Amino acid sequence: MQGTAKTAIMPAATTTVTWDQLHRDARVLAGLLVPRGPFRGIVAVTRGGLVPAAIVARELDCRLVETISIATYAGEAGTRGEPIVLKTPDAAGDGSGFLIVDDLVDSGVTARLVRGLLPRAHFACLYAKPAGLPATGSYVTQVPQDTWILFPWDTAPVFVPPLARR
Please report, in tens digits, the pLDDT of each residue of the chain (166 residues total): 333 333 444 557 999 999 999 999 999 999 999 999 999 999 999 999 999 999 999 999 999 999 999 988 665 555 667 889 999 999 999 999 999 999 999 999 999 999 999 999 999 999 999 999 999 999 999 999 999 999 999 988 888 889 998 7
Inside any domain, residue 166: no
Q: Which residues contact 84 (CB under 8 A, 6 or more apart)?
A: 70, 71, 72
Inside any domain, residue 51: yes
Inside any domain, residue 162: no
Domain interval for residue 107: 15-152
Q: Which residues contact 86 (CB under 8 A, 6 or more apart)?
A: 69, 70, 71
Q: Does residue 132 contact residue 108 with C-beta atoms inside 8 Å?
A: yes
- Residue 82: which of 110, 111, 115 has the closest Cα? 110
For the chain, strand residue ranges (E) read 7-8, 13-16, 41-46, 65-74, 79-87, 98-105, 122-128, 138-142, 147-150
Inside any domain, residue 4: no
Interatomic CA distance for residues 152 and 128, integer angstroms: 17
What does the pLDDT read at residue 165?
A: 85
Inside any domain, residue 121: yes
Which residue in the list 25, 94, 106, 154 is annotated as catalytic? 106
Residue 154: active-site member: no
Looking at the structure of the chain, the number of domains it has is 1
Interatomic CA distance for residues 163 and 56, integer angstroms: 40
Interatomic CA distance for residues 22 and 121, integer angstroms: 23
Residue-wise pLDDT for 80-104, tens only, equals 678 899 999 999 999 999 999 999 9
Residue 25: active-site member: no
What does the pLDDT read at residue 4?
A: 38
We report the CATH number of the domain holding residue 26 as 3.40.50.2020
What does the pLDDT read at residue 156?
A: 87
Which residue in the list 61, 94, 102, 146 is annotated as catalytic? 102
Using CA atoms, how far residue 110 sits from 2, 20, 33, 70, 106, in Å, is 17, 26, 21, 7, 8
Q: Does residue 148 contact residue 13 with C-beta atoms inside 8 Å?
A: yes
What does the pLDDT read at residue 6?
A: 39
What does the pLDDT read at residue 21?
A: 97
Inside any domain, residue 7: no
Which residue in the list 20, 61, 103, 154 is annotated as catalytic? 103
Residue 102: active-site member: yes
Inside any domain, residue 10: no
